[in-house]
Every structure is written in C-alpha cells, then in structure tokens.
Structure 1
C-alpha cells in the first residue's frame, strides 16, 4: 500500500521540484513560448486579413472585368450594327444606281426607237411622194384622153408599187 499512498517527504520534494521547474519555465521558457504564440497569432491574423483583402480585390476585379466585358459586348454590337447599316446603305445605293441606269437605258432605247420610227415614216412618206410624182409623171406623159385608160394605167402602177 505504500505505493498507492505517498508519504509526506515525497510530496514535499515533488512540490519543490514542481515549483522550481515552474519558476524556470516562467523565467526562461514562458516568455519565448508566449512571444512565439503571439507572433504566430499575428501572422495568422495578417494572413487572414490579406486573404480577405485579396478576396475583396478579386471581387472588385471580377466586377471590373464584367463591366469591361459588358462594354466590349456593347461596342461589338454597335460596330456590327454600324457595319450592317453601312452594308444596307451600300446595297440600297447600288440598287438605286442600277434602277437609274436601267431607266436611263430604257429612255435611250425608247428615244432610239422613236427616232427610227420617225426616220421610217419619213422614208415611207418620201417614197410615197416619189412614187406619186413618178405616177403623175407617167400619166402626164401618156396624156391619155380616155379616163378608163388612165384608170387602168394607175391600177398597173399601184400593182407595181405594192410588189416592191
């Protein structure tokens, strides 16, 4: 039982040893350990605050990037709209120009047809006048006294004219 119940001398020396060890630890080891713990705590706090700061910066950068992306999309849409409008304008101008050119060519063709028609009518009139003069000349040369002979002669000349 002696092992289970310590005697007074053992307790005394254990208490003295404990107090000496406690004094030595407090005097020499406690301050450096506490300083190391404080330093570690400060470094952890600084790391956490730096992480929080970095997180806030990242959020700011993300918001800025999204803003830049939105601006870039708007600029892209604006450029595409301007290009589409310019393309439509060029197409419309080309259509108008083609229509004007077509109308001008049609007008020129009508004018040419009209000129040819006038020339043909003038030529027909000149031919008719020449034939009339020729017929009259032939009739007068013959100086026929018989009207039926003159009529027959005129019919012959008309047949000649229609054959030509």
Structure 2
C-alpha cells in the first residue's frame, strides 16, 4: 500500500519545493506576467476604442457623403432644369422670329403681287386704249359709207390684233 499513499517526507519536500517555487514566481515572475497581461488588456481596449472611433468616423463620413451626393443630385437637377428652360426659350424665340420673318415675307410677297397686278391692269388698259385709238384712226382714214364695209373692216382688225 505504500505505492498508493505517499510518505510524510515526500509530502513535506513537495510542499517546501512548492512554496519555494511559489515565492520565486511571486518575487520574480508574477509582476512581469501581470504587467504583460495588463499591457495586453489595455492595448486590446485601446484597439477596441480606436475601432469604435473609426466606426463613428466612418458613419459620419458616410452621412457627409450621402449629404454631398444629395446636394450634387439637387444641383444636377437644377442645372438640367435651367438647361431645358434655356433650350425651350431659345426654340420659342427662334420660332417667333421665324413666324415674324414669314409674316413679313408674306406681306412683301402680297404687296409685290398687288403691285404687279396693278401694273398689268394699267398695261392692259393702255393697250386697249392704244388699240381703240388705232382702230378708230384706221376707220377714220377710210371713208366708208357702207355699213357692211365698216363691219368687215372691224372684223379684219379684230382678227389681226394679238394681245400680249
């Protein structure tokens, strides 16, 4: 049974050795180990706090980016609206000028047609008067007592006259 139960001497030396190792660890190793653990804990806390700060900054930057994007969209819409209005204004102005020019040209054309018409009527009247005078002159030059001879002469002159 000696194998299962340790002897008193063995327990004593193991306890003494344990206390010596415990004293040496407490004196020389415990403080550096605790300091290393504390340093590691504080570096982890700093890293977590830096990550939280970075997360907050990213959220702020994202909000700023969204705000800038919204402003840019508004500016784009405003510029497009102004460009559309300017284009419509230019088209409307050009349309009005074209209508005015067309109306002016139409009025000029009507006036020119009216002038040509008057000139043509005047020319026809002058030709008719000249023709009448010519016929009367020819009739008077000839002495015609006979009405049939007068009628034949008039028919001859009428058929011989061509109107331009």
Task: Please give the alpha-carbon distance, in whole angstroms, between the structure 2 residues aligned to 1:66 and 1:127.
Answer: 89
Are residue 127 (structure 1) and residue 141 (structure 2) matched?
A: no
Distance 1:108 1:124, change over 3 A: same
Structure 2 unaligned blocks of 5 or more = none
The whole-number CA distance in structure 2 between the counterparts of 1:82 and 1:71 is 16
Q: Which moved more, 1:113-122 or 1:137-146?
A: 137-146
Distance 1:94 1:122, change over 3 A: same
Once the two structures are superposed, residues 57-81 of structure 1 have per-residue CA deviations (whole angstroms, 9 ceiling, x without a partner) of 1111111111111221222222222
Residue 14 of structure 1: aligned partner: 14
When residues 80 and 163 of structure 1 are mapped into structure 2, their CA distance, relative to the original with a 3 A threshold, is closer
Deviation at 1:83, TM superposition (A): 1.9
Separation in 2, partners of 1:107, 1:161: 38
* TM superposition score normalised by structure 2: 0.87
Distance 1:78 1:163, change over 3 A: closer
2:40 alignment partner in structure 1:
40
Q: Which residue of 1 aligns with 2:23?
A: 23
Question: Greater CA deviation, 87-96 or 35-44?
Answer: 87-96
When the two chains are superposed, the root-mean-square deviation of aligned CA atoms in Å is 2.0
1:21–1:163 Cα change, 3 Å: closer
Long gaps (5+) in structure 1? none
CA shift, 1:162, in A, is 5.1
Question: Once the two structures are superposed, what CA deviation does each residue of 1:2-29 show, in whole Å capped at 9, x if it has no partner?
Answer: 2221122221221122112111211221
When normalised by structure 1's length, the TM-score is 0.87
Counterpart of 2:56?
56
Work out the CA distance in 1 between the residues paired with 2:163 and 2:46: 122
Distance 2:59 2:3 in 1: 68
Give the Cα separation in 1 of the matches to 2:81 and 2:13. Answer: 96
CA distance in 2, matches of 1:162, 1:145: 28
Shift of 1:100: 2.2
